[in-house]
Amino acid sequence: MLDRLREILGAANVLTGKDMDPFACDWSGAPQGTPLAVLRPGSTADVAAILKLANESRTPVVPMSGNTCLSGATAAEGAWVVSMARMNKIREIRPTGRIAIVEAGAILANIHDAVAEHDLIFPLFFGARGSAMIGGALSTNAGGSNVLRYGNTRDLCLGIEAVLPDGEVIDLMRQLHKDNSGYDLRHLLIGAEGTLGIITAAVIKLFPAPLANATAMVAVPRVGDALELLNRLQQETGGAVQAFEYMPRAYIETHLLQTKDARPPFDERHDVNIMVEVGATAPRDAVPDANGQIPIAAHLESVLADLFEEGAILDAVVAQNETQRREMWERREAAAQVMTYQTPHVDRDIAVPVDRMQEFLDQVAQIIADLDPGAQDVSVAHLGDGNLHLGVFPTRDDEDLCQRIGDLAEDAAVALGGSFSAEHGIGWRKRPAMARHKNPGAMAAMRTIKTALDPNGILNPGKVLPDI
């Protein structure tokens, strides 16, 4: 089998032994099984040949992009890993049509840099963008900090190319905003975590780059008050809020402990800290006035000043330059490091309706008080879209306690009309939650689809669906 793979890919692109070590752990370095081999295709035809051979031989295959996954979706014990790293071309950028055609292995930061040359953005931003690849982002329907304004990855994709488990290539590389020609297989494959097919290329949407950004840290009495703040800012800016991020006091304090030269956002400590960013795309909001002040920043300052006078906010600091803006973003983008700063820790990816976030956090506080009163809650949230990354530092190393806190928090989210998974995917780690919470009819339909497209069960086995 390895000889046949070397004929397809070339010997240098079939890795075995110690060469597989980087692919046998997750982003944190935790082991997640030893692959049979790591395969590095250079084209869609290579991927098709690999899957055809795997299907014939009943060999499990695990697709891997940047391996920044947080749900165990790239665990590959006894499987071939198909690394998309060589398929990294940005094939075409069409500024007038505001689209780009990219291969699955294109790194997000490289896409950002390439389209920036045309004064455009691909608005999928999160901390791992320097290594995360667009294929993985599509496979998990990743979110990030700009979902509030631009939507999830699913909303940023017009078309895909993918290879099915039997090696059949499906070309859905449409560049259309409207196409009602049958089942939308694009959306079926997006978010499927590589269990139905391997995405090899995509047509992605681009947007005008903001001509100016106004960024601020704002303190409010409670998270529930932040929703009023968001609604007011959206009204005042014509819906131009593109990030609205929540960080509690414990998160800020942990960041200060962990990060050299980090500074607190305010002179005083506050329980509820919000980072807000407004993006201006109209010249009237971005061209400095006679005093050198950028209108969008001046307007944000004015609105926040009014809110302070009304007692709706406790404090606010508006970034006066790019260095201060970058400092605010670095504080938020350090979340992965902050939330794993202590061991043990609880981390769950949860979504609730935006107007029920305060209720959910109150319930989480009660769960912690009942189970481990001294535990620290360092959760952060993309508050504008209701996505909370639950982070708790328990007082003792007790696996059952950590599991109980996480499970009860997920149960509370679902009871409030939310979800146990927002943007990190299911992988194998959230399969128990799928079994507990997913609608039985929906589960049956998903199993039917999986069996129909992958009857031999070779693609990313043991992921997403319980009992498959």
Same domain, yes or no, for 218 and 288? yes
Rounded mean pLDDT, 360-378: 97
Count structural domains, the chain.
4
User: Which residues have CB under 8 Å from 422's CB, separation 6+?
Assistant: 143, 349, 350, 351, 386, 387, 388
Same domain, yes or no, for 288 and 229? yes
Neighbouring C-beta atoms of residue 31, cutoff 10 Å: 11
- Please choose, from the candidates 424, 386, 422, 438, the residue with its C-alpha nearest in 3D space to the C-alpha of residue 140: 424
- Quickly state the pLDDT bin for 31 (edges 50, 70, 90): confident
Name residue 387's beta-bridge partners: 351, 382
**Do 170 and 51 form a contact (C-beta atoms < 8 A)?**
no
Does the pLDDT of residue 70 top 90, yes or no? Answer: no
**Do 179 and 273 form a contact (C-beta atoms < 8 A)?**
no
Residue 466 lies in a domain: no
Q: Phi and psi of 79, rounded to 5°?
A: -130, 160
Residue 50 lies in a domain: yes
Same domain, yes or no, for 322 and 274? yes
Burial 254-276 (b: 16+ CB within 10 A, else e): bbeeeeeeeebbbeeebebbbbb
Which CATH number is 118's domain given? 3.30.465.10
Neighbouring C-beta atoms of residue 156, cutoff 10 Å: 22
Rounded mean pLDDT, 211-240: 95
Rounded mean pLDDT, 347-375: 96
Give residue for tokens 């390439």: 114
**Minimum mean pLDDT range among 20-24, 68-72, 342-346, 431-435:** 68-72
Rounded mean pLDDT, 99-114: 97
User: Which residues have CB under 8 Å from 73's CB, separation 6+?
Assistant: 139, 140, 193, 194, 425, 426, 427, 428, 460, 463, 464
- Quickly state the pLDDT bin for 27 (edges 50, 70, 90): confident
pTM over 0.85: yes
Note down the domain range covering 147: 90-208
Residue 307 lies in a domain: yes
Report the C-alpha gap between 304 and 392 in whole angstroms: 31
- Quickly state the pLDDT bin for 93 (edges 50, 70, 90): very high
Which CATH number is 274's domain given? 3.30.70.2190
**Boundary-marking domain end, from 208, 229, 249:** 208
- Please choose, from the candidates 159, 138, 130, 166, the residue with its C-alpha nearest in 3D space to the C-alpha of residue 48: 166
Which CATH number is 364's domain given? 3.30.70.2740
* Secondary structure in 3-state letters for the chain: CHHHHHHHHCHHHEECHHHHHHHCECCCCCECCCCCEEECCCCHHHHHHHHHHHHHHCCCEEEECCCCCCCCCCCCCCCEEEECCCCCCEEEEECCCCEEEEECCCEHHHHHHHHHCCCEECCCCCCCCCCCEHHHHHHHCCCCCCHHHHCCHHHHEEEEEEECCCCCEEEECCCCCCCCCCCCHHHHHCCCCCCCCEEEEEEEECEECCCEEEEEEEEECCHHHHHHHHHHHHHHHCCCEEEEEEEEHHHHHHHHHHCCCCCCCCCCCCCEEEEEEEEECCHHHHCCCCCCCCHHHHHHHHHHHHHHHHCCCCEEEECCCHHHHHHHHHHHHCHHHHHCCCCCCEEEEEECCHHHHHHHHHHHHHHHHHHCCCCEECCEEEHHHCEEEEEEECCCCCHHHHHHHHHHHHHHHHHCCCECCCCCCCCCCCHHHHHHHCCHHHHHHHHHHHHHHCCCCCECCCCCCCCC
* Single-letter residue type at 215: T
Mean pLDDT of the chain: 95
Residue 203 lies in a domain: yes
Does the pLDDT of residue 30 top 90, yes or no? Answer: no
Q: What is the pLDDT of residues 286-331, one digit of tens each?
A: 998 888 889 999 999 999 999 999 999 999 999 999 999 999 999 9
Residue 401 lies in a domain: yes
Does the pLDDT of residue 28 top 80, yes or no? Answer: no
Residue 371 lies in a domain: yes
Same domain, yes or no, for 201 and 218? no
- Quickly state the pLDDT bin for 468 (edges 50, 70, 90): low
- Please choose, from the candidates 75, 83, 84, the residue with its C-alpha nearest in 3D space to the C-alpha of residue 34: 75
Q: What is the pLDDT of residues 375-396, one digit of tens each?
A: 999 999 999 999 999 999 999 9
Same domain, yes or no, for 188 and 148? yes
pLDDT of residue 251: 96
Q: Which two tokens stand for residue 212?
A: 């100016």
Q: What is the pLDDT of residues 135-155, one digit of tens each?
A: 999 999 999 899 999 999 999
**Boundary-marking domain end, from 156, 186, 208:** 208
**Do 158 and 205 form a contact (C-beta atoms < 8 A)?**
yes
Residue 434 lies in a domain: no
Rounded mean pLDDT, 49-53: 98
Same domain, yes or no, for 46 and 103? no
**Boundary-marking domain end, from 145, 178, 208:** 208
Does the pLDDT of residue 467 top 90, yes or no? Answer: no
Residue 273 lies in a domain: yes
